């Protein structure tokens, strides 16, 4: 136990509390910047990938296919089937 106490005392003398506090504050500041940048990048990627028009067109086509499959309307897709 005496060895542990001596080691803790040595660390306490070597550590500069003011410098540690300054380092921790700088870390918190940089961490906040990183969080904001990460959120902005995530929002930018979400905006770039979020294309409601394409999603709406896909939904319309899927609804047409479903209705056609149940015999409620003719299929309105004009793209020919590829020849294999």
pLDDT for residue 80 is more than 70: no
Number of H helices, E strands in the chain: 3, 0
* Residue ranges of domains in the chain: 15-69
- Both structure tokens of 64: 């047409």
pTM: 0.46
Tens of pLDDT, residue by residue over 17-46, are 888 899 999 999 999 999 999 999 998 888
Tens of pLDDT, residue by residue over 40-71, are 999 888 887 777 777 788 888 888 777 776 66
- Both structure tokens of 70: 């149940």
Q: How many CA atoms lie within 13 A of 80 on its CB side?
A: 3
């Amino acid at each position: 136990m005496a060895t542990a106490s001596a080691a803790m005392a040595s660390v306490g003398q070597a550590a500069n509390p003011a410098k540690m506090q300054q380092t921790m504050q700088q870390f918190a500041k940089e961490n906040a910047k990183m969080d904001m940048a990460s959120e902005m990048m995530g929002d930018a990627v979400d905006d770039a990938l979020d294309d409601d028009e394409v999603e709406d067109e896909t939904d319309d086509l899927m609804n047409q296919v479903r209705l056609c499959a149940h015999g409620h309307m003719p299929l309105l897709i004009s793209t020919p089937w590829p020849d294999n």
